[in-house]
Amino acid sequence: MKNSKTYKITLSALFLALGIVMPFFTAQIPSIGSQLLPMHIPVLLCGFVLGGPYGAIIGFITPLLRSALFSMPPMFPTAICMAFELAVYGFMSGYLYRHLQKTTMNVYLSLITAMICGRVVWGIVSVILFSMQNQAFSLSMFIAGAFANAMIGIVLQIIIIPLCIMALERAHLIYE
């Protein structure tokens, strides 16, 4: 049953719903709410649990749907850049996790590699979208957006995601 397409689509919908709802909770902490990166966690978990293709789809849809429903994040350029970033998160976390030996170190390796690749893609898409508006996207803007302003969320992901994955592994809820 857990390998059925219906079950995977249902879990995908759950991860999508979490990605849409979680920012409401962190928005209640104005000083650091957006720095917690609440949409990223369900997308990364989706990649680990259901695999790269499901993670990529949920990663791409989540910021776009949230923007369409609630105007947050703003569609252009933020949600569009995030869609590509989160699609890479979801795909890479699932792809690497499936292709590496199941060790705690490889969970961290999959997670950190997915996070770095996603941020690089976010930067590339940002350069493209900003240049379409004849605006510069500098290296300092990339570092601020991808790392400095996101440090709390990055640390939170590095703590929470592996703990969740290890608990799901023990419960045999990770799909091959």
pLDDT of residue 159: 98
* pLDDT at res. 8: 93
Task: Name the token pair of 99.
Answer: 């292709």
Quote the longest CA-to-CA distance of the chain. 52
The domains located in the chain, with CATH, are 5-170 (1.10.1760.20)
User: How do residues 76-117 score in pLDDT, each as one tens digit?
Assistant: 999 999 999 999 999 999 999 999 999 999 999 999 999 999
List average pLDDT for each run of 10 residues in the chain, which is 176 residues long.
84 98 87 88 97 98 98 95 98 97 96 98 97 94 92 96 96 79
Cα distance between residue 166 and residue 157, in whole Å:
14
Q: What burial class does residue 122 get, using C-beta atoms within 10 Å of its C-beta: 0-12 exposed, 13-18 middle, 19+ buried?
A: buried
pTM of the predicted protein model: 0.95
